[in-house]
A and B are shown apart, each in its own frame.
Chain A
Amino acid sequence: MSRRGRLALLGPALLGLGALLGWGVAGLPAFGHYRGPYGFVLDRIVVPLRHTTNVVMGTTFDVRGVDTMGEEFILYAAVLGVTLLLRSGERGRPGRQAGERLGTDGLRLLGVTMVGGGVLVGLWLAAFGYVTPGGGFQGGALVAGTILLLYLVGGRSAYAPFLAEAALDPLESLGAGGYVVIGLAALASGLPFLTNLLGLGTPGSLVSGGSIAALNWASALAVTVALLTLFAEFLETYVVPLARADEA
């Protein structure tokens, strides 16, 4: 279809979709008048039953723990897809080599400081995810994102450890597989899959939530390494030639 034809169709289509959305939304309770019941039930029962003061994470890793496992494998499959797509082509192109160093010393110092601080904040977000706002997914994303900053300020040589497939692949499997193993552990002891096995601990402390803490860390690892793998594939394929200078 020509571009003009497509644009001519777009107007009526947007109007139609807008009308449908308006119709659908008009049937919802007004903003702020949530009717429940599930949200209210969870807000009431998760802290007494699971001892996680962050009810969102209690929901994510316990009430709908199986869904979250599926979500981890969506991420896993996407990373696998990107890896296959990018590796199917030739790797590295002449003239696209990234510079080893960027900016002034002051800028690099600021960058390195931010890497340290960012990784710490990410670990803190993940560690206290089930107590205060945060969680494995958020913390993992922050850790991986700040590590990428190392590439910008330190160049390829500083970032090289995070490009190593030999380290990334087993860690990714440990994160995604660890989640499943925690679920299977419950099955092995004669309980339904992903039953919360470990002691529930004291609400509001790091020692709380039982299996939720372990699942939270498995997710943090899976997300961190999934993102690092994505970065590595994009960087190796499109920014840095595969062959290092000393091999060429």
Chain B
Amino acid sequence: MSYLPYAVAAWICLVGLAGVATSRNLVHLAVCLTVMQSSTYVLLLSVGYVAGGRAPIFKGAKPGAKAVDPVVQALTLTDVVVSVAVVALILALALDAHRLAGTVDPDGLADVHG
């Protein structure tokens, strides 16, 4: 009985959120958001783990061998792709903010109006 991987996921999520909230730089903020999102990878993969199970890849394995849940692994793949897309968008917005306001400090952007 162990809940350690879940605790790790919760910890990564909280650390990432703290980073997002205290960030002084939009690029740093994007990295913190990625850290936060990584907690979902840990959580998903932990939820699907079967003690003693192999990876759900049956090349050279007996059919019916004990394996972990492939669904959460497929979901993690989706998660990673979405994470990349979101980070690219945030970085583009950060570059635009820098071009328009001359700063990437979220606090310094408070005075910028459309």
Q: Which residue of B lies closest to A223 (CB)?
A: B81
Chain A contact-residue range equals 35 or more
Q: How many A-B contacts are there with CB distance less than 8 Å?
A: 165
Least Cβ–Cβ distance between A231 and chain B, in angstroms:
10
User: Is the pair A56, B70 in contact by a Cβ cutoff of 8 Å?
Assistant: yes
A214 contacts B by Cβ under 8 Å:
no
User: Is the pair A78, B77 in contact by a Cβ cutoff of 8 Å?
Assistant: no
User: Is the pair B82, A71 in contact by a Cβ cutoff of 8 Å?
Assistant: yes
User: Is the pair B77, A137 in contact by a Cβ cutoff of 8 Å?
Assistant: yes
Q: Which of B51-102 contact A (CB under 8 A)?
A: 51-53, 55-60, 63-64, 67-74, 77-78, 80-82, 84-86, 88-89, 91-93, 95-96, 99
A67 to B78, CA, bound (A): 9
- Chain B residues positioned under 8 Å from A46 (CB to CB): 70
List A residues at the B interface (Cβ < 8 Å): 3, 6-7, 10, 13-14, 17-18, 21-22, 25-26, 28, 30-34, 36, 38-40, 42-44, 46-48, 53-56, 58-60, 64, 67-68, 71, 74-75, 77-79, 81-82, 85-86, 88-89, 131-133, 135, 137-138, 141, 203-204, 223, 227, 230, 233-234, 237-238
A-B contact pairs, 25 of them (CB 8 A): A21-B10, A25-B3, A30-B3, A31-B2, A32-B49, A34-B69, A39-B48, A39-B56, A39-B67, A42-B56, A42-B70, A43-B69, A48-B63, A55-B56, A55-B58, A56-B56, A59-B70, A59-B73, A60-B77, A64-B71, A71-B81, A78-B86, A89-B99, A137-B81, A141-B84
